[in-house]
Amino acid sequence: MAVITKKDLQHIPGDWGMPFFGHFFEFVSNATKFYETRKKKYGDVFKINTPVGMSVVLSGPTANKFILVEEGKFTSSKEAWENSLGELFPNGLMLMDGDKHKYHRGIMQEAFKKIPMQGYLDIMPKILASGIDQLEGKKKILAFPFFKNLTLKVAASVFFGLDPTEDLSKVNKAVTDIVNASAALPIKLPFTNYQKGINGRKFLINFFKELLPERRANAGKDLFSRLCQAKDEDGNQFTDQEIIDHLIFVLMAAHDTTAITLTLMSYFLAKHPHWQDKLRKEAVDFNVTQETKVKDLRQLDKMGLVMKETLRIHPPLITVSRKLERAIEVNDFKLPKNTFVSVVFQMTHHDERIWTTPSKFDPERFNKERNEQLKCPFGYAPFGAGKHHCIGYQFAELMVKLGMTELLKRFKVSVPEGYESPIRDVPLKQPKDDLPLYLEAI
């Protein structure tokens, strides 16, 4: 297999950074600043370098559609992520291509169709209400750890059939360690974040392995059971290891990204109390009953606007990578076959060619009159696009709307005047200080 060299990319704007480390430390320290600085200097196409390899960064109104959709069948997600995620999330959907990806995704997608989703709506409100109950009498919380624990309980129940009252702190820590390892140097020493991630994965493997025999024998309606019972046209089933690999990936995707969205929505609502009042009115007027359908959550219109704006400003995953399986041309730059490319959602989400005053928190930009996201197809892509588009985006929306409704019915949230949350960009967005949030019971 041909390997791309620096000579192959010498015509691409940019530099190679430090010896060996390249731009790693700049990127990890502040990815947003790193990308924006280079975009201002070099434009929509530029090269970067890290210990896991060289890549070409693409931004601008058409990059998402071009790489993820139009060229989607001529790119590899597996090979792009293998170096950084191969040991942490082997056989996760991000690390599959072609027919294998289509088959595995098809089975997992069953968990997000109409009937299962309606079943989740029957389960989730009680778990979320119980979690919000724990805030009674508290004046201040760290929002991110709270929402991580809350969303983990929901995911554990609806995806894995676990008791939401069970102590899942070790599971939570294992997932956190794996996520942190995905942006660490791949050094396997006891004190490194990478080794902690490897250890976290080992813990989850043993955790799910103990549950497998019972799920094989007594299938429930959860995703875990569905994977245990799934068969292809020839009657083949997933191996135990394939099931475990999928569960670990889903566990990260199902609760970490949703917890991030709930946390940052809380932050923006605390900073913009007039929007908090609008959402609270919607929440008070909305009640989940046995007759409530998933589609009824569309009534939470203002909440939908705030969620979209939160995901525009802070998409949980700011970039995705692909390896080109054929040569392409972007903005008059020729990229050879086998080039690794990174499509940075966040830069497109903040592009002045698409958005009015993109640095401003302005949920109304998504209303029916303005619909700024329609100016450019795929200019708004917090859940990705193309064949690797997030299969759980509707589940995430359901959990976010139900969770925020429950919170706002019972509490006002605030932050000190002038407070700005310090945001870490990679591996996933999160507040560095866990977002101290003040509560006032209603």
**Cβ neighbours for 179, distance < 8 A, ≥ 6 positions apart:** 197, 252, 256, 427, 428
Is residue 89 packed enough to be buried (19+ CB in 10 Å), middle (13-18) or exposed (0-12)? buried
Mean of pLDDT values over 112-128: 90
Rounded to an integer, what distance in angstroms lies between the CA atom of residue 65 and that of residue 135?
43
With 70 as the cut, is the pLDDT of residue 322 above it?
A: yes
pLDDT at residue 87 in the model: 93
The more confidently predicted of residues 52 and 18 is: 18
Residue pLDDT, tens place only, 58-78: 988 778 888 988 898 899 999
User: Is residue 1 included in any domain, yes or no?
Assistant: no
pLDDT at residue 366 in the model: 97
With 70 as the cut, is the pLDDT of residue 1 above it?
A: no
Q: Are 35 and 63 in contact (CB under 8 A)?
A: no
CA distances 61 to 116, 319, 385, 434, Å, are 35, 15, 14, 32
Mean of pLDDT values over 19-42: 94
Mean of pLDDT values over 101-115: 87
CATH number at residue 207: 1.10.630.10
Rounded to an integer, what distance in angstroms lies between the CA atom of residue 435 and that of residue 319?
23
Mean of pLDDT values over 216-231: 82
Q: Which helix (H) or strand (E) holds 320?
A: strand 319-324
Residue pLDDT, tens place only, 253-296: 878 899 999 999 999 999 999 999 999 999 999 989 889 999 99
With 70 as the cut, is the pLDDT of residue 394 above it?
A: yes
- 52 in helix, strand or coil? coil
User: Is residue 266 included in any domain, yes or no?
Assistant: yes
Mean of pLDDT values over 204-208: 95
User: Is residue 2 included in any domain, yes or no?
Assistant: no
Domain, as residue range, for 406: 7-441
Q: Is the peptide bond before 416 cis (omega within 30 degrees of 0)?
A: no
Q: Which helix (H) or strand (E) holds 438?
A: strand 436-441
User: Is residue 435 included in any domain, yes or no?
Assistant: yes
For the chain, the residue count is 442
pLDDT at residue 227 in the model: 85
Residue pLDDT, tens place only, 70-100: 898 899 999 999 988 999 999 899 999 999 9
CA distances 47 to 40, 51, 295, Å, are 13, 14, 44
With 70 as the cut, is the pLDDT of residue 2 above it?
A: no
**Cβ neighbours for 249, distance < 8 A, ≥ 6 positions apart:** 89, 91, 92, 93, 94
User: Is residue 422 included in any domain, yes or no?
Assistant: yes
User: Is residue 285 included in any domain, yes or no?
Assistant: yes
pLDDT at residue 186 in the model: 86
Number of folded domains in the chain?
1
- 333 in helix, strand or coil? strand
User: Is residue 166 included in any domain, yes or no?
Assistant: yes
